[in-house]
Amino acid sequence: MIYRHSGLVFTEHTLTVPLDHADPGGRRIELFAREVTAPDLPAADLPFLLYLEGGPGHSAPRHLPAWLRRATREYRVVLMDQRGTGRSTPATRQTLAGLDDPAGHLRHFRADAIVADAELLRAHLAGDRPWTVLGQSFGGFCAVTYLSRAPEGLREVLITGGLPPLEASAEDVYRAAYPRVLAHNERYAERYPDDAPAARRVVDALCERDVRLPGGDRLTPRRFQTLGIHFGAESRFDALHHLLAEAFVDGPGGKELSDAFLRGVDAAVSFATQPLYALMHESVYCQGRASGWAAHRVRAEFPEFDLDGDGPVRFTGEMIYPWLFDEDPALIPLAGCARELASRTDWPALYDADRLAGNTVPVAALICYDDMYVDREMSLATAAAIRGLRPWITNEHAHDALGIRETVFERLLTLVRR
C-alpha cells in the first residue's frame, strides 16, 4: 500500500520471518514496516535508514517525529514495528492466550531476534546494501546488538539515549536507577512545590476508599505512584502536574477524585497498548541469569519511596513490579507468563565485547547527562568499549530529545561523518 501524508510518501511492507531464527523452517510471524520518502527526490538513488523505537514493546511512531522530515532529505526511512508490536504479529493477552508456552514464545522477542528480523528486512528492501540504523532508547540497545551480531549490514549507526550496560546485571541497573528517579522527583518538586500536598491527598483518598478507574479496575496508591515514569521525558515531564491540578471536584459527599483525573491516570498506568513492555522490560538486561523481579527486590533498599506516614509522595520510574500483574487488567492474564520470564536463566548473550572492540562501523551516540532511564556512567563505559564511537555528552537534552528536537538528528549526522 502506498499513500501520501503531510507531504511525504509512505509505502507499507509486510514479510514473514521465523519466530526462532535458529529454526528457519519452524513457525513464522509477520513483520511490518513503513517506508517514508520525500516526493521530490529519486528514492531509488537514496540509501536506507532503519529506525528502531524505544521500549521494549513499542511500535514505530505513528506521528511524524521531529527528525523524520530531515532524514528523508538523505534517506529512504524505514519505520519497523518490532516483533510483537503494532502491525507485526502482536503479542498481547489475547494472542498469547492461545499458546501452550507463552513464555517460551516470548524468549524470541529480545534484541537478538529484532536484529535478525532487521537483516531479513534489509535484504528484502535493500538487497546487499548496508543501511544506517537510528536507535532511540531500547532501539539503541538493539543497535549495539546489531554491531555485535551483524555489523556487515551497517553503514553507520546513530544512537540517542540508548547505550546499554554490556555486563551489568538487572540488579545493578536498578540500584543505579532509583537514585536517579529520586533526583527527578526533586526536580519536579522544585518546579511544582504545591503538588506535594495534592499528591498526598490523592494517596490518602485511595487508602480511604475503593476508587475505580473508567475500566472498572481499582486505582491503588502504589499504582498511582508509578506515574513518575514520565519524569525523564521533557515532553511529558509536566503531565502529572496537570492531572493533579484537576484531581478533585466537589461531589455529593464532599471532595472526590474527578473523572478527568481518573481518565488521565488510566491512560498513563495501563499497559493495554504495550504489554510487551511490562513482560520483557527486565529481560533486556539479562545474559545468562534471571532477573528475578530485580526492580521489586532492589526497591527495598530505598525507603524514600515508602507511602507510609505523611511524608512526601515520591513517584517511581521505569520499573516493573510483580503486583502490576495483579492490578492491571491487561496484564492479569499474563501473570504466569511474567513469572516464568522473570525466573529464566537461559537468556543468551546480547553483546560481543571483542567485536565491539574491533568495530569499524561509524557510530555516534547522544548521552544525556541527567538521563533518568539510562545510567550515564554505564553508557560512558559502553561508549569506551565500542571502537571509534563518537559520544555527544550534554545536559541540554532529556531522554526524548530526538523526537522533539530536529537539531539532535542533524548533530548526530555531523558527528558520525566527521
**Catalytic site includes residue 204:** no
pLDDT confidence of residue 186: 97
Q: Count other C-beta atoms under 10 Å from residue 311's C-beta.
A: 11
- The predicted pLDDT at position 209 comes to 93
CA geometry: angle 100, 103, 108, nearest 5 deg: 110
Report yes or no: 282 and 295 within 8 Å, Cβ to Cβ.
Answer: yes
Q: Active-site residue 63, yes or no? A: no
pLDDT at position 226, please? 98
Q: pTM of whole model > 0.75?
A: yes
Crossing angle of the two packed helices 111-126 and 138-149, in degrees rounded to 10: 70
**What pLDDT does 157 receive?**
98
Going from the N-terminus, what domains does the chain have, and what CATH number goes with each?
A: 2-166+351-417 (3.40.50.1820), 170-343 (no CATH)
Which member of 184, 230, 281, 399 is catalytic? 399
Cβ atoms of 357 and 370 within 8 Å: the answer is: no
Q: Which of 137, 169, 270, 379 is catalytic?
A: 137
Q: Which of 40, 100, 210, 346 is catalytic?
A: 346
Hey, CA dihedral for 387, 173, 118, 418, is it positive or negative?
negative
What integer pLDDT is reported at residue 272 of this predicted model?
94
Residue 44's pLDDT is what?
79
Q: Specify whether 105 is catalytic.
A: no
pLDDT at 254: 83
Residue 5 confidence (pLDDT): 87
What are the residue ranges in the chain where pLDDT is below 50?
none
